[in-house]
C-alpha cells in the first residue's frame, strides 16, 4: 500500500511539474503540445514494446517439452494471480536475469535468461517468476508508460522553452527569460529523478506482491542474494540502458553514474524487506 501511495504522489508531482512549466511557457496550449507529442511517441512504445524488447534480446519461445518445468511454474502462478498464462521466452545468455513485458495481462510475456535457469533452485525460480507475474498484475508497463509520457512531455516543453528563453527574451522582460531558462534546464532533470523513484517503488511493490502470491518472501530474497553475488563475480554485458528497468536485477555494469541514477532499489534493501515480511 505504501509503494502504491508513493507512486500516486510521485505521479502527482510529475503532473504538477508539467503543468507549471507548460503554463509558464505556453499556458494551456504549452501543456497540450508537450503532452500530445509525448503521448504519440509513447503510444507506439506501449503497443509494440514487448515485440521490440524481445527482438532486441533475441528471445525465443520456450519449447513446452524442453522447458516443461518453467511452463508449469508460470501456469500455476498465473492461475493464483487470476490472469491468463503469459507467453514464455528464453534469452540466450549466461547472464542471470528475467523480465516481464506486455501492455496488459492478456498481452503479457515473461522472459528468462539461460543463466538464471541454471543458477536458481526451483523455489528461488518460483520467487523470481512470482515477482515478474506481479509486474503484470500490477499493470506496471501501463504505469511506467504514463510516467514516460508525462516525463517526455516535460522534456519537450522544456526543450522549446530553452530556445524561447535564449533567443526570444529582451532586456525589458523583468528577468522572466532567465527564470524560464532555469526552469527549462531543471525540469527535465527533476522529471527524470521522479521517474527513477517511481521505477524503484514499482520494484518494491512487485517484490511484495510476488511474496504474497507465493505466501513466502524468503525464496525471492534468496534469489535476489544469488543474483547480486552472481553479477559481481560473473558480470556479462548484454543489456541496453533504455531497457534496464525491465529486469528483476540491474543488468548494467555498476559505476558511479549508474549508482546515481538507479532504476532498481539497493538489493540489500529489497532482501531485508522481503525477509521481514509477515505473511502469516
Environment class of 202 (CB within 10 Å of its CB; exposed 0-12, middle 13-18, buried 19+): buried
90 Cα distance to chain centroid: 20
DSSP calls for 98-118: EEEE-SSGGG-EEEEEHHHHH
Choosing from 132, 228, 241, 268, which is the catalytic residue? 132
Report the alpha-carbon distance of residue 227 to residue 248 in Å, rounded.
9
Which of 24, 21, 92, 29 lies closest to 61, judged by CA? Answer: 92
Query: Does the annotation count 132 as an active-site position?
Result: yes
b/e burial code for range 115-141 (CB count within 10 A of at least 16 → b)? bbbebbeeebbbbbbbbbbbbbbbebb
Report the alpha-carbon distance of residue 99 to residue 266 in Å, rounded.
18
241's grid cell? 540502458
SS3 assignment, position 140? helix
Cα angle vertex 90, ends 84, 96, to 5°? 110
Report the alpha-carbon distance of residue 49 to residue 60 in Å, rounded.
16
Environment class of 64 (CB within 10 Å of its CB; exposed 0-12, middle 13-18, buried 19+): exposed
Question: Measured on CA atoms in the order 197, 200, 201, 202, is the torsion positive or negative?
Answer: positive
Active-site residues, by number, are 132
Amino acid at each position: 500500500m505504501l509503494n502504491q501511495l508513493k507512486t500516486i504522489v510521485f505521479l502527482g508531482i510529475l503532473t504538477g511539474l508539467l503543468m507549471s512549466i507548460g503554463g509558464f511557457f505556453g499556458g494551456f496550449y504549452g501543456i497540450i503540445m508537450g503532452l500530445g507529442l509525448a503521448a504519440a511517441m509513447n503510444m507506439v512504445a506501449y503497443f509494440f514494446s514487448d515485440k521490440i524488447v524481445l527482438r532486441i534480446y533475441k528471445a525465443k519461445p520456450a519449447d513446452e517439452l524442453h522447458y516443461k518445468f518453467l511452463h508449469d511454474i508460470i501456469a500455476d502462478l498465473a492461475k493464483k494471480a487470476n490472469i491468463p498464462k503469459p507467453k514464455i521466452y528464453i534469452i540466450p545468455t549466461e547472464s542471470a536475469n528475467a523480465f516481464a513485458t506486455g501492455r496488459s495481462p492478456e498481452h503479457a510475456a515473461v522472459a528468462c535468461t539461460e543463466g538464471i535457469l541454471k543458477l536458481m533452485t526451483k523455489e528461488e525460480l518460483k520467487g523470481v517468476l512470482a515477482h515478474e507475474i506481479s509486474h503484470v498484475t500490477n499493470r506496471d508497463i501501463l504505469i511506467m508508460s504514463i510516467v514516460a509520457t508525462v516525463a517526455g512531455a516535460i522534456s519537450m516543453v522544456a526543450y522549446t522553452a530553452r530556445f524561447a528563453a535564449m533567443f526570444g527574451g529582451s532586456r525589458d522582460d523583468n528577468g522572466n527569460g532567465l527564470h524560464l531558462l532555469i526552469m527549462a534546464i531543471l525540469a527535465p532533470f527533476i522529471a527524470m529523478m521522479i521517474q527513477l523513484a517511481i521505477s524503484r517503488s514499482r520494484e518494491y511493490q512487485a517484490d511484495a506482491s510476488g511474496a504474497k502470491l507465493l505466501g513466502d518472501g524468503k525464496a525471492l530474497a534468496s534469489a535476489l542474494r544469488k543474483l547480486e553475488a552472481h553479477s559481481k563475480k560473473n558480470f556479462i554485458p548484454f543489456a541496453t540502458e533504455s531497457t534496464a528497468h525491465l529486469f528483476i536485477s540491474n543488468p548494467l555494469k555498476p559505476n558511479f553514474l549508474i549508482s546515481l541514477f538507479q532504476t532498481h532499489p539497493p538489493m540489500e534493501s529489497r532482501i531485508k524487506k522481503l525477509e521481514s515480511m509477515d505473511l502469516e
